Structure 1
Amino acid sequence: MNFWKRLPSGLTALLGAVLAAGVLWVFRVEPPPPPLSLSQYVSGVYQRQTQPGEAQIRLNTGQTVTAVTYAEAQPTPGQAVVLNQIDGQYILEGPRRFPLLGALLGLTLLVALAVTGVQGLRAVLGSALTLAALWLILLPLLLGGAPVLGLLPALGGVLALSVYFVHGWNRKSHAALLALLLCVTLGAGLLNLLVGAASLTGLSDAGATVAQASYGVSATGLYVVGVLLTSLGAMNDVAITQTSAVETLAQTRAAQAGPPLSRRALFRQAMRVGRDHAAGMVNVLMLLYAGGSLPLLLLMRASSGTPLWVQVNSEGLFTELAALLLALVSMLLVVPVSTALAAIQHFPSTPRSPDST
């Protein structure tokens, strides 16, 4: 332990990320074998358009080929592109965009370090580890046909990795994680009830339709897991804020050399912060879902011939609105649950104080 304490906090975060990545790799789940592919992807440089629907491309190997251009984005001469080769024919997929993500990631790290210091670095690394856990564990389980309730332990592991890596192994993290697990389990149960009561198929989403047809993945399972993951961001933020508020209130009281606050007093004072925070997060979630459903809302607004209740009754819009409302319920429940757990875990033997009345 003394060795770790002597290391710079930034280096500790990096070493912790490497260790966590190694653990994820050891416990990774192998997905089912993919269908046989008859195509391969190659890179090249766009030269010029030879005729409508065709373009000249110089491959990275130096070979110049003619490619069919179905891509919506028209590359400019000299721009790197991606091609799909099928039976000797090349099809232009579009510009080579993914290197730009490296630049955006670098900018994100710089801003995180400048604004929040090492804590921001830990947050970015924690997000990367969360994505790695989804890729290596949760998604292969979905491809393997695991039921939604069977995915809850894996989802709990992803939550634990995120919370403990960013916020450390302490009572605050314990209380936040327990609150998240309780509310996520409740949210999963409510979502499963909703899927049955509303006879949802999950096939209103094109990606879910392809996944079910190609890999046998349950479209409704994808819907439930997707809603839980979307709401977890707001839930995690609220849970950590509330447990931090309880910790700060207790430490401030101790620094003032006053009598310790009781659990009830801690809960009531921290809930003042939680109510304001939760009210703001309601608007955040509302805008998040509205932005994701903007094309659907636009078509809904333009379709004046269809009654509003009929549009809301359609599975595509119903699932979006139901996801928003259930995410709000789960996020709001995290506020009192995390606050109560933090008050109990931080001070299990705190005597009652006059402030508790």
Structure 2
Amino acid sequence: MSHGHGHGHTGPIPVGPVAARVVVGLLTAIGVVVVIGLIALWPSRHSIEIPLPFQTSGGGAVVTEAGTVASSDFGPCGSPSVGRSFTGDPVPPPNNSYECQRSVVDIESGPNEGTRTLLEIGPGPGQPDLAAGDHIRLVRQTDASGATVYSFEDYARGWSLLAIVLVFVIVIVVVARWRGLRALLGLLVAFAVLVGFMLPALLDGQPAVPVALVGGALILYAVLYLAHGVSLRTSSALLGTLASMLLAAVLSWAAIELTNLTGLSEEQNTNVQTYIGNVSITGLLLAGFIIGSLGVLNDVTITQASSAFELAQLDPGASRRSVFSAAMRVGRDHIASTVYTLVLAYAGGALPLLLLFSVAGRSITDVLTGDAVAIEILRSAVGGIALALSVPLTTAIAVALARPPRAGASPGGAPSPIRPPRSGGGRHARR
């Protein structure tokens, strides 16, 4: 009866002290390296010239104002009032004018608030179809004579986007409660790291891969500990995710070097190379691969760590091998579902491109091996490899923390395996 106290407790699982010290020590050392990298890569304060496509005619930054379409019709165009601010009605066009869409817009912000302007938009693909009541953004700039002129920029989406984001926040907090709120705070930290460090560092000419690794590590530390709390369970998931991110970086570099991807098939990358010459397009491509893999890696690693700890708590007599095998069964299902989710997500992003290629009459081989589609294929493949390898890695770390050495032997000396439940009722089902 002396052994009865060893299996009936519901307190925390004992943790192997060596494994705990190793994991905490590694995370501390990595954190110190990340802070040193952050200091070394921190962007300078020098100003960067605005690229030509994003300048106004005067060479400054684009300034937009709010506007609401008061009326819109199709008729003769060429009015001298186009783009000018006025009160009342616009000046009529000359008799030999062409036909286009005419929209009178009320200007609702800026120095000419309370006046109107006229937009004339010719027919064609990609042109906006304005209607009375549409809320839009107007570009305000100064022409060669010094007069203020307005042009269409985009539809105003501020309030509608805010409403959708608020619904998202409310649903997350209501369903996940405090953990959901902490996850949202982690999201804000991730956005701050991206905007406050990564983008300025890239514009400053810092190497893209170290910037992506340091920024990604900062995001992971903040997101995981904020969302899931400071614990050995979270620490095991964090260490597995950091290792997988480093693996994704190595795989991405090897894949890009092997396939000679340039990234210049994408218009944004071409603009970056043309107007921001100190940024490496290949490095930017690599950084995109690394940051793009974080979300799915985080999802898988935290699930594996939680599975290992829960299984170890479910059967205190199970050996490390048994807990690892049981958690890996969960992980294999997760890999199977996440891999095609990953591939379909990238395919969805490339859908317009695939549609254009489908009517171009090119062979499927040319389409798949072309730079634009090859980028998405490699992004999926690298993410899938890192995802698959993160499962056994994180599971092994979590099991080492959740089950101390030699704690899992059964009274008879043999380990107690965790087996999946049988269906059908035991002996009678086997007859």
On whether the aligned pair clears a TM of 0.5, the verdict is yes
- In the alignment, the residues of structure 2 paired with residue 188 and residue 286 of structure 1 have an alpha-carbon distance, to the nearest angstrom, of 18
- Bigger CA drift: 239-248 or 147-156? 147-156
Deviations 1:251-281 (A, max 9, x none): 2224xxxx3x332222111101111111110
Structure number, greater radius of gyration: 2
Is the CA contact (8 Å cut-off) linking 1:75 and 1:95 kept in structure 2? no
How do 1:320-331 and structure 2 match up within 5 A?
320-331=376-387
User: Which residue in the other structure is 1:23 paired with?
Assistant: none
| Structure 1 counterpart of 2:197 | 137
Select the residue among 26, 35, 38 that pairs with 2:49. Answer: 35
Query: How far apart, CA to CA, are the structure 1 residues paired with 2:43 and 2:320?
Result: 42
2:276 alignment partner, one of 193, 215, 239: 215
Out of 291, 313, 316, the residue aligned to residue 369 of structure 2 is 313
Name the CA shift for 1:159/1:68 in 2 (closer, same or farther; >3 Å): farther
1: CA distance between counterparts of 2:68 and 2:44?
35
Cα distance, 1:242–1:191 mapped onto 2, change above 3 Å: same
Kindly tell me: are residues 169 and 275 of structure 1, through their superposed partners in 2, closer, same or farther at Cα, counting changes over 3 Å? same
Question: Contact conserved, 1:45 with 1:58, CA < 8 A, in 2?
Answer: yes
Unaligned runs of 5+ in 1: 1-25
Q: Which runs of 5+ in 2 are unaligned?
A: 1-37, 78-99, 143-147, 410-414, 419-431
Q: In the alignment, is the contact (CA less than 8 A) between 1:44 and 1:58 conserved in 2?
A: yes
Q: Which residue of structure 1 lines up, in the alignment, with residue 34 of structure 2? A: none
Structure-2 separation of matches of 1:193 and 1:134: 25
| 182 and 112 in structure 1: CA distance in 2 versus 1, 3 angstrom threshold | same
2:129 and 2:45 map into 1 onto residues whose CA distance is 35
Q: CA RMSD in A?
A: 2.4
Structure 1 or 2: more helix by fraction? 1
Structure 1: distance between partners of 2:221 and 2:233: 13
Name the SS for the 1:137 alignment partner.
Answer: helix
> Which stretches of structure 1, 4 residues or more, deviate above 6 A after TM superposition?
none
Deviation at 1:289, TM superposition (A): 1.0
Q: Does 1:111 align with 2:181?
A: no
| Corresponding residue of 1:86 | 141
Q: Distance in 2 between matches of 1:98 and 1:86?
A: 22
Q: 1:312 to 1:31 in 2, by over 3 A?
A: farther
Contact 1:122 1:165 (C-alpha < 8 Å) held by counterparts: yes
Give, in whole Å, the separation in 2 of the partners of 1:207 and 1:195. 18
Q: Which residue of 1 aligns with 2:403?
A: 347
Please name the residue that 1:66 is paired with: 118
Matched with 2:188 is 128
Equivalent residue in structure 2 for 1:297, among 354, 362, 365: 354
8 Å contact kept, 1:263–1:347? yes
| Alpha carbons 1:46, 1:79 under 8 Å: kept | yes
Among candidates 43, 55, 70, match of residue 103 of structure 2 = 55
State the 1:291 CA deviation: 0.6
Asked if structure 1 preserves the Cα contact closer than 8 Å seen for 2:137 and 2:156, the reply is yes
Call closer, same or farther: CA 1:344–1:316 in 2, change over 3 Å.
Answer: same
Closer, same or farther: CA 91–297 of 1 in aligned 2, 3 Å: same
Match of 1:169 in 2: 230
Aligned to 1:242: 304
With over 3 angstroms needed to count, the CA separation of the structure-2 counterparts of 1:347 and 1:112, relative to structure 1, is same
**Is contact 1:138-1:155 (8 Å) kept?**
no
Identity %: 31
